[in-house]
Structure 1
Amino acid sequence: MRVLFTVMPAAAHLQPVVPLAWALRAAGHEVCVASHPNMAEPINAAGLTAVPVGRVEDLGALMRSAAEDPVLEAITTSLRTDPEDLNLRNAFRYYQLAAFSLYYPTRPQEDGVRPMVDDLVEFARAWRPDLVLWDPLSFPGPVAARACGAAHARIQYGLDYTAWARQRLHELNSVPGGPVVEDLMAAAMGPELERVGEVFDEELIRGQWTVDLVPPGLQLPLDLPYVPLRRVPYDGAHVFPEWLRRRPERPRVCLTLGLSTRKFLAVDSAALIRDLLAMAAETDADFVATLDASQLRSVGTVPPNVSALDYVPLELLLPTCSAIVHHGGGGTFASAVAHRVPQLVPGPGEGGDRLAFAAYIHERGAGLMIEREDVSADTLRESMARLLHDPGLRRGTDRLHDDLLAVPAPREVVPVLERLTADHRG
């Protein structure tokens, strides 16, 4: 069969799907990956066929614009979220809906036509995939599938905030005698769907089913068809560095704040980086810190036991490490679990998966989380000592690793996708 992946224009959105794309190709299926033009090179570097569609988008500008969008605020407010659960609200408001507005503009007359939608539909009609597997933030994916009669499903690499929002809306509207809550997401989708000859239904937001990369026990409580898939770490094609071939003489610690932090949170992370380097200076270990020049500019002197490198692939670095300090990203979490490395997440921010992953690591005894208001050089130093010397955290890491191995690998999921495609294809 022919399988079309669609992904948002960011490496962190491509990397989780690459192992499944490889597995499909190894099983004899044709695979293409469609995204914005700036993703063609990393898609090709992964050994996959790229389909450039639409135009290059400034995701930073998109997020800033979405933060001030009254329509997106109205959609969120209509859900009447628990005021105590700011992470759930903010993740949906500032993360999910930002991408939603990229493809379903809330001011269509001002923002104009989105070429990504038209280009993707045109390609799907010409290539005629049997299955479209779409990034949960690449909302044109199901529209393209409809246009060519393909089956389609989301690949959920983080918590399913969109499906949660849809369930929340239906719960509010099922209260006997309660007021009807207008479906503002459907209303925002209406003009674009009408333009391409489609009519709204839930599958255009939630897919016909969902391939789920979220680890067991971390999923939101949702009654939807999920296909569990083991997250196999992949962070690009690289040359193995010579220095990584030598066994370290004392404990090695990876320190990374993720690529997204560089793009969107560089100013907010400066104080954290200073505290991390102060902690490293007083720890009997060698640190490899994936920090670029912009992150290091305001932190002063780098301690002699810290090697600050712009980038090191985690799949090569982590097998040599005794611990990792990171921002709570799902990809970094999965890499640490795959290589059985205890994790420390200091001050995870609200509005995404980072807080949820950090809490999960802590609760499962595979590492530690420090609340944002408690982060200091002292608390970091105490936590690092535990990370390096507490055997209980190592046992917790082993348990998480066992949980990971219990989830079907990509090659085991391919027959499931073949069957579901046959059942759902138009």
Structure 2
Amino acid sequence: MRVLFTIYPNSLAHLYPVVPLAWALQSAGHEVRIATHVSSAELIVRTGLTPVGLGDPEQPPVRLTDDCSPPRSPEDVDRYARVLGLTPEQREHWIVFYQYLMQPVSDYVRLDRSEASDLVDFASTWKPDLIFWDPTHPAGAVAARVSGAAHARFLIGHDMFGWCLDRLAERRDDLRAAGLDENPLASLIRPLAEHYGLEVDRELLYGQWSVETMLDGLRLPTSTKKLSMRHVPYVDPQLFPEWLHESPENKRCECCGRLGRRRIAMSLGESTRRFINGDWDRTPRILQALEGLEDLEVVATLDQAQLHDVKKVPHNVRPIDWVPLPQLMPTCSALIHHGGIGTYSAAVAAKVPQLVCDLADESLLMRLVEDDPNVMKAGTYRLGWEFGVREEGEASAPTAHWELPAKKVEATPVSEFMLSKGSGARLDHRAQSIEEMRELIWHVATDPSYHANAAALYDDWMAMPGPGDVVPDLEKLTVQNRRR
């Protein structure tokens, strides 16, 4: 059969999770394509898969233009949260959906750009049997309906879309009474759907089913049909660095001459460092805590933007712009990270305890920066802006700065999950002192109980079906659900 994936462009966090399943399908004899903005074609080619370029090659992705969609206002977020009757924890789920995830949806269902229509045209011509669509790219559902393909969402993290759609449906009458849009996601998709003569129904919003890659305990309860599949860590193949060949416990440190030190890794993700200058006060404080741990060798995947406010890098810390985590993790005794699902999964697959950077008491709500709009501070980002791609001087019109909270959107649920499993800890760089962080890092890296619990979590992960295991199920679901 023919299988088409459609994903959010120029994001490794959206591309890498689908690659193992795409390869499993291709290895089983199926034809596979990955469709996204044409600027992502090279990234897809490096995975060994075949891209389908959408949009005008002369135009950048929408998010790098002056008319990209801004986040929803904090006032609108709060109005919905009150009418929906959300608890403080549930309000955070709503913030992620309404303020963060609705932006890419807004950008890639537009009728004044060609990405969505190109996708529908390709599907109509190529005639896929199955379309997997990223929840931030629901034009995939429209393409499936027009072409007669079966279609499913591929969930790369928590199902915020399904959870919030369920809440909206439960409070439909209350939302109408309050003068609020009863389903803002449906309203975004409707112009595109109606352009092709379609109604926005439940299937167009949820998919016919979804591939769920989260372990029990990290999943959000939703009303959707789901097929479980193990999240297999993937990065592009690269030459294995020579210094990773030898275990750190068998070599002598070049700086201090110590023999047999443990290695830990520090990784704060690839997305934030593309859009903000610096790393709040997080990286400087964590590096201060690491400075006193002479018996640890630290490999820190930090670039110059993240090191912007760092006065001194400790001699036991090796800063490196990029190293594949699946290569690094098997040599490590612990991982300090931002809470991203891909990073968390790489540690789970290597049985490595985790320290998740999380400010438990800080909301994810974004707010407009009220001070000098010409200053890019740590923790603020500008719409249509990215380091090394489209920077401040290239913008043709001034745009607002938004203040981001000093944590990843998944940080709190991931840290709470690791705490519940006894295989990790929360690293709160604002609530904990340098000494408390230093002691916690050492404890997680060296205490046998954390390693035993990380091994038990690995067993839970391995008990989930792998990408190759779900191919027969996908074949059956496709036959049952396609419309031709």
**How does the TM-score come out when normalised to structure 2?**
0.81
CA contact (8 A) 2:131 2:152 kept: yes
Q: Give the deviation of 1:234 after TM superposition.
A: 0.2
Residue 87 of structure 1 pairs with residue 92 of structure 2:
yes
- What pairs with 1:13-412 in structure 2 (closer than 5 Å)? 13-55=14-56, 56-57=60-61, 59=63, 65-68=69-72, 73=77, 76-77=80-81, 80-82=84-86, 84-85=88-89, 86-104=91-109, 113-173=112-172, 182-249=182-249, 250-267=261-278, 269-283=279-293, 284-348=295-359, 350-351=363-364, 352-371=409-428, 373-412=430-469
Instruction: Quote the Cα distance in structure 2 between the aligned partners of 1:27 and 1:79.
Output: 48
Question: d(CA) in 2 for partners of 1:286 and 1:120?
Answer: 48
Closer, same or farther in 2 for the Cα pair 1:206/1:405, shift >3 Å? same
Asked whether the 8 Å contact 2:69–2:106 carries over to 1, the reply is no
More deviation, 211-220/66-75: 66-75
Shift of 1:312: 0.4
Match of 1:2 in 2: 2
How far is the alpha carbon of 1:279 from its aligned partner? 1.3
* Partner SS for 2:70: helix
Q: Report the counterpart of residue 108 of structure 1 in structure 2.
A: none
Q: CA deviation at 1:378?
A: 2.0
Shift of 1:69: 5.7
Which blocks of at least 5 consecutive residues in structure 2 are unaligned? 250-260, 365-408
* CA distance in structure 2 between the partners assigned to 1:71 and 1:381 by the alignment: 39
Alpha-carbon distance change, 306 to 100 in structure 1, aligned in 2, over 3 angstroms: same
Q: Distance in 2 between matches of 1:87 and 1:70?
A: 12
* 2: CA distance, partners of 1:147 / 1:329: 34
* RMSD (Å) for aligned C-alpha atoms: 2.5
Q: 1:218 to 1:347 in 2, by over 3 A?
A: closer
CA distance in 2, matches of 1:193, 1:228: 29
Q: Partner amino acid for 2:169?
A: H
Q: What is the CA distance between 1:16 and its match in structure 2?
A: 0.4
| More off after superposition, 338-347 vs 165-174 | 165-174
Which shifted more, 211-220 or 69-78?
69-78
Q: How many residues were matched structurally?
A: 418
Question: 2 CA distance for matches of 1:193 and 1:83?
Answer: 33
**Deviation larger for 379-388 or 128-137:** 379-388
By how many angstroms is 1:118 displaced? 0.6
- Which secondary structure does the structure 1 equivalent of 2:305 belong to? helix
Tell whether the 8 Å contact from 2:302 to 2:321 is kept in structure 1 after alignment: yes
Deviates more, 1:228-237 or 1:342-351: 342-351
Deviations 1:317-376 (Å, cap 9, x if unpaired)?
111111100000000110000000000012257542222112111111110013464144
* Shift in alpha-carbon separation, 1:57–1:308, aligned structure 2, 3 A: same
Return the alpha-carbon distance in structure 1 between the equivalents of residues 82 and 65 of structure 2: 25
1:424 aligns with 2:468: no
Segment drifting more, 73-82 vs 165-174: 73-82
Q: Quick one: distance in 1 between partners of 2:36 and 2:105?
A: 15
- Describe the shift of the 1:71–1:273 C-alpha distance in structure 2 as closer, same or farther (beyond 3 A): closer
Q: Give the 3 Å change call, closer, same or farther, for CA 201–74 of structure 1 in structure 2.
A: farther
| Preserved CA contact (<8 Å) 2:138 2:189 | no
Cα distance in 2, alignment partners of residues 62 and 318 from structure 1: 39
1:420 aligned partner, one-letter code: L
Q: Is the 8 A contact 1:270 1:299 kept in 2?
A: no
Q: Give the Cα separation in 1 of the matches to 2:25 and 2:433.
A: 46
Q: Distance in 2 between matches of 1:25 and 1:44?
A: 14
Distance 2:221 2:67 in 1: 27
Give the structure with the larger helix fraction. 1
Counterpart Cα distance in 2 of 1:289 and 1:227:
35
Displacement of 1:60: 7.0
- Secondary structure, in 3 states, of the residue corresponding to 1:67? coil
Identical counterparts, % of pairs:
39
Q: Which amino acid aligns with 1:8?
A: Y
Greater displacement, 275-284 / 365-374? 365-374
Return closer, same or farther for 1:380/1:156 CA change in 2, 3 Å cut-off: same
- Matching residue's letter, 2:282: L
Q: Which amino acid aligns with 2:54?
A: V
- Note the C-alpha offset of 1:186: 2.2
Cross-structure match for 2:256:
none
Quick check: 405-414 or 243-252, which moved more? 243-252
